[in-house]
Structure 1
């Protein structure tokens, strides 16, 4: 089926290209933030790279414990979105052109939580959506967190 082929292609991208590329950035982030004790600084490409002709400007939603915000970055073969995001303490929901990214500290918390209770992505995403909505934050679309958050958590773990 089309869906299966898409999932297989995405799995291949994550396992053969993206994860090997972001692991050094993640390890560097852990050193720079004292194992995430210090808050990472968001530092992404705000200008189009001169070295690559295939650069693409991305508008990405950032989900944190206490807020949702939108950032823009330029992604290219020279400077991938995934590496830029991980260096900034954020984990992408998709391997190449993510639309949502999650604070790595939040993913770490959820990973630890799910070691102690039965994993329930739907409940977590609904609770986060309600919590953030009560603070005035909203993502466009119908329940946009569930699929994206579960995908980010799957590849983070």
Structure 2
């Protein structure tokens, strides 16, 4: 699937087109670099472990990448959840959403989320959920513009 932002916004831009696809083991090193942008204080993901995990993804997980000429521009991970208390109703959780800092504003994040929502619908999900850091106001506006709404309260219990 190839995407091109509105030509009026990006005339003659070399980044006007890109493709979306499932990540594979061969993407591990580039994906590790991209994922590092989620938190510069976090250790860089191990490319070897990442390659192994990408080779054996369960059917309930999909890692998407946006790519142009071999360069990874963005990624997100979609996780399927079946809710036991609701007759196994399905929802999906979006994680690890990142667009390369040099590529933002070109429609890449929107295209990734649209693809993730398409996959979630194909899984029969009734909602697509995500969490984002409380301080990431630009991200909050981005997600709201795509139709995401506040839903409950997200809490975490540190286990480490």
State TM-score, norm by structure 2: 0.29
Looking at secondary structure, tell me which structure has more strand per residue. Answer: 2
Please identify which structure carries the higher helix content: 1
